[in-house]
Amino acid sequence: MLIDVENLIREIQREPWAKDVSVDDDFWPLVIEWFNDHVLFGFLQQVMRQVDTIVDINPELTERQILEGATRYMVEFLGAHHASVRIYDPQSEQMLSFGSYPSEEEKRQTFIPLEGSIAGEVVKSLRTCLVPDILDEERYQNKDVIQKRGVHSLMAIPLEITRFFPSERDTVGVIQIYYTEKNRNFTPIEIQVANVMAKRLSFVIARKRVLHMNRLNEKREAILQHIFQTLGTRGGIKMEEVFNEVIPELADMVDLQSCALFSITDDYNNVILEAGYPGRGYHSIGKSFSVSTEPVFEFLTNLREYSGDSAYEMVTPSYILIVDPQRSDLISKGLKRFVASHNINSILYVPLRVDGELTHFMTFDALDQRQRYRDDEIDIFLFLGRELMKAQKMERLDDALHDFKNPAIATAGFARRLKKLLGQEERKDTKEQIEKYADILLEETSRLQELAMSLYQVGKEEVVNLTEVLQRRFEINKEAIREQLKQNVTLNEGPFDPDLNVLSYRINVERVFDNLLNNATKAIPLKGGTLDILTYEDGKWACAEIINTGHMPEEERVRLLEGEARGRGLYITQRIIRLLKGKVEIRAGKDTTTFLVRIPRYKGPNRG
C-alpha cells in the first residue's frame, strides 16, 4: 500500500541510526510490510473512526454545540489538554468566542482582535500556526489564564466553511488546541490529522446550514400562510392574531421573550408601537416614544453616528444587537429596568425600509445573551418585518373601511335632506336647517378624510370633551338609524357632565363611540326598544354609558371582556381603549345591555 517502497527503504538507510545496521536485503521490505499490516492499518482505522465521529455529529444541534463536540473528539484523539474555537466576525472585525472543550465560555474573552493575535493570523493566512512555548510568544497576550490552566504549547489550525451563494462570505475561524508540554515538538502527522478533522467539521456545519436554509424557506411559507389565513377570516386581518400565529415560528431560531413592530414618524421625532408579542399586559399598542429618549433609536434613525467599539453592542448597517443591555450605553436607564424585570438578556433591532427610506423597525428580545446573528437569520427577520408592515396596512384599511359606514350613511342622508331644503321656498327656519346640515356634512366629510389618513397617521393628540363627542356621534347615529329604516327605536339623552375632558386623538374617541353606538343599535330587537347615552365623572375616570334594549348572554359578555370579540367594531374599540389606558365594562340586565367606557380624566391646570 505504501507508495514507492524502494525509495522509502533508501531514505531509511540514510538515517544515522540505520547506517550501521547489518541486515539481509529482505529485512527492510519485511519491516515495511509488517508496519503496513499492523501499524498503519490500525492507525488509519482510528483516524477514520474519529473523522466519522465528527461527520456524524447531529446537524440539529446549535453551531456552538457542534463545535464543542468536535473539539472534544480532537482533544481526546490528539492527547491535548483542551481546545477552543473562534470565528471571525466581519462586521466587528474581531474574533468571537464560539465554543470550547471542556466548556469554560464564561471565563473566556468574548472578543479578541484580528490584528496582532495568533487566531487572527491563522484566519488571514489560512495556515496552521505552531507555538511550542506560549509564554515566549508575543502574539499571545492573555498569559495569566494560560498559566492558571497549566498549558504551555499550542497548535492553531484554520477552520473554513465555504459560502453557498455569491452574496455570502466564507465563514473562517480557528481551532486552538492546547498541550501541557513545554517546547512541544508537533509531528507532521498530528498536524495533518488535526487539519483533516477540521475540514470534516466544516462539512458538518455546511450540512447544518443546508438544513437551516430549507427551514428558512419553510418559515417564509409558514409566515405567508398564517397571514393569508388571517386575511381570509370574516373579521379581517388583526395584527394581534397575526403576531400570535407567526412569532412562535421563530422559536427554534431565537429564545424570544417578546417581539414588537414600531413605526417612525415622518419627522423622525417619535416612534410608535404598532404591534407586539405577547399582547395584552406586555405591550401598550399605539404608545408613542420620543426618539431622543433612547440612544438606540437615534442610531437606528441615523440621527447619531456610532463611533464606539464596545463588546456590549454590535452596530451594523443591517441591524443593531445589544449583547448586554445592562452594560450597553445605547440603552436608557428606564429600558434597563424594563429588560431586567422581564429577564431579557439581549435585544436585536432590525430596521425596515421602503424604497430606501426607514419607516419601521422590529425588536426581538431574547432570553439568552446572543453574541451574534447570522445573515440568513437577519434575512428571515427582515422578511417577517416586511410582511408585518403589509399586514399592518391591511389592518388599518379594514378598520377604516369598517368605520366609514356610519359617517357615509349619515352624510348621504344629510345630503338628501339638504338638497330637498334647497328646493323649498327660503324661510328663516329653512336657512338655519341648511346651515346645520352643511356644518354636519363638513364635519363628517372631514372625518371621512381623517379616517382615510389614519391608514398612515392619526393626527395630533389633544384635549377632547368626552360629552361633546358622544353627543355629536349620537346625532350622527340617529341619522344612520333613519337611513337603515330601523323602526320603534326610542332615543334618550342625558344626564351629562359638560366638563369631562380626556387627552387623546379626537378621531380615536369618535371611533370608540361610533362602534359602540352602532353595535348597540344593531342589538335592539326587531320589535323595537330604547337607546340611551349619559356621561359622568367617577374619581379619576371620565365615564360614558351606552344602554340598549336587548339581553346579552353571560358567556358572550365574558368572551367580549376577555378580548375575544369577533366583530371588527369591538376589536377596534378594545384596541383604542387599551391605547387610552381606559377600560370597558359590560353590564347585562334582564332586558338591557350597558357598555360603560372609562377613560382617564384629563387634569388641566384648573383641576385637582
Q: Are strands 288-290 and 256-264 parallel, antiparallel or unpaired?
A: unpaired
According to the model, what pLDDT value does residue 456 have? 46
The CA distance from 216 to 219, in Å, is 5
The CA distance from 309 to 315, in Å, is 9
The answer to whether 314 touches 603, Cβ cutoff 8 Å, is: no
User: pLDDT tens for residues 233-277?
Assistant: 545 556 566 667 677 777 666 677 888 888 888 778 888 887 777
Residue 531 in domain: yes
User: pLDDT tens for residues 475-520?
Assistant: 878 877 776 666 788 889 889 998 889 988 787 888 888 888 888 8
Burial (CB count within 10 angstroms: exposed 0-12, middle 13-18, buried 19+), residue 483: middle
Q: Check pLDDT > 70 for residue 434.
A: no
- Domain of residue 340 covers 232-395
Per-residue CA distances from 189 to 47, 54, 163, 314, 448 (Å): 11, 19, 29, 41, 81
**382 plus 498 within the same structural domain:** no
According to the model, what pLDDT value does residue 122 have? 92
The CA distance from 524 to 549, in Å, is 5
**576 plus 536 within the same structural domain:** yes
User: Final residue of a domain: which of 336, 364, 395?
Assistant: 395
**371 plus 487 within the same structural domain:** no
Instruction: Give the residue from 542, 543, 544 showing the smallest Cα distance to 604.
Output: 542
Q: Where does residue 338 fall: left (phi above 0), alpha (psi -120 to 50 degrees), or beta otherwise?
A: alpha
The answer to whether 535 touches 542, Cβ cutoff 8 Å, is: yes
**287 plus 335 within the same structural domain:** yes
Q: How many domains does the chain have?
A: 4
User: pLDDT tens for residues 23-53?
Assistant: 777 887 788 778 777 677 777 777 788 778 8
According to the model, what pLDDT value does residue 281 have? 53
Q: Check pLDDT > 70 for residue 399.
A: no
Widest Cα–Cα separation across the chain: 141
Confidence of residue 125 (pLDDT cuts 50, 70, 90): very high
The CA distance from 156 to 140, in Å, is 12
**8 plus 128 within the same structural domain:** no
User: Final residue of a domain: which of 395, 417, 436?
Assistant: 395
Instruction: Give the residue from 316, 581, 288, 280 showing the smallest Cα distance to 460.
Output: 288
**Average pLDDT across the chain, whole number:** 78
According to the model, what pLDDT value does residue 608 have? 38
Read off the amino acid at residue 224: L
Cell (9 digits) for 18: 540505520
Residue % of the chain over a pLDDT of 90: 10
**533 plus 385 within the same structural domain:** no
Residue environment code for 178-198, b if the CB has 16+ CB neighbours within 10 A, otherwise e: bbeeeebebeeeeeebbbbbb
Question: Tell me, what CATH number does 364's domain have?
Answer: 3.30.450.40
**291 plus 388 within the same structural domain:** yes
- Provide DSSP, 473-504: HHHHHHHHHHHTT--SEEEEE----S--EEEE
Mean pLDDT score, 99-114 = 77
User: Final residue of a domain: which of 395, 417, 435?
Assistant: 395
Angle of the 375-422 helix axis to the 568-579 helix axis, nearest 10? 110
**1 plus 74 within the same structural domain:** no
